[in-house]
């Protein structure tokens, strides 16, 4: 038994496919235009498998780098290690006395405290992670009121 689709001429098949593609394109555009920046980046994050993703488009190259709370934790540890001279600073001593869970909670706090514009400025064009580490150290030093 043949379906109606099988007896339609090829020209109608093409017309139906073109209309379908046009409708899908318009619906996708509506969805894309309705999303916030945060929702778009969240979708991008779910689509990527790496911490850094670069996509070449027709007119530009887009690079996205993902930083999470583990990166902030690493930045704090780097900041502490950089500021660990032969005579230990009070900030480093205090940090070293914290449990791993408390240190990770501190990274969570720093993640929520750092303004996005500062975060972008600190990393700059060259992903200067050391600037982020220094910012974290200075923030904790001020938070704990150690003069170092």
Range of the domain at 40: 4-65
Task: Dump pLDDT digits (tens) for 115-147.
Answer: 887 777 777 766 678 888 888 999 999 988 877
Q: How far is CA 41 from CA 27, 47, 102, 118, 128, in A?
A: 20, 10, 29, 19, 22
Looking at per-residue pLDDT, the higher value among 41 and 88 belongs to 41
Residues 86 and 135 in one domain: yes
Decide if 148 is inside a domain: no
Decide if 101 is inside a domain: yes
For residue 1, what pLDDT band results from cuts at 50, 70 and 90? low
Q: Whole-structure pTM over 0.75, yes or no?
A: no
Determine the Cα–Cα distance for residues 24 and 18; give it in Å rounded to an integer. Answer: 10
Question: Percent helix, strand, coil in the chain (nearest 5)?
Answer: 65, 5, 25
Decide if 26 is inside a domain: yes
Residues 56 and 44 in one domain: yes
Residues 24 and 42 in one domain: yes
Query: Would the pLDDT of 43 be above 90?
Result: no
């Amino acid at each position: 038994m043949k379906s109606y689709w099988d007896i339609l001429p090829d020209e109608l098949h093409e017309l139906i496919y073109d209309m379908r593609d046009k409708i899908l394109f318009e619906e996708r555009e509506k969805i894309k235009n309705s999303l916030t920046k945060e929702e778009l980046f969240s979708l991008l994050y779910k689509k990527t498998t790496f911490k850094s993703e670069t996509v070449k488009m027709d007119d530009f190259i887009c690079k996205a780098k993902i930083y999470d709370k583990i990166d902030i934790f690493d930045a704090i540890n780097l900041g502490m290690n950089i500021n660990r001279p032969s005579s230990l600073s009070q900030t480093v001593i205090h940090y070293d006395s914290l449990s791993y869970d408390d240190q990770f909670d501190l990274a969570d706090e720093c993640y929520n405290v750092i303004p996005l514009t500062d975060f972008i400025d600190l990393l700059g064009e060259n992903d200067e992670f050391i600037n982020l580490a220094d910012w974290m150290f200075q923030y904790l030093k001020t938070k704990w009121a150690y003069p170092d």
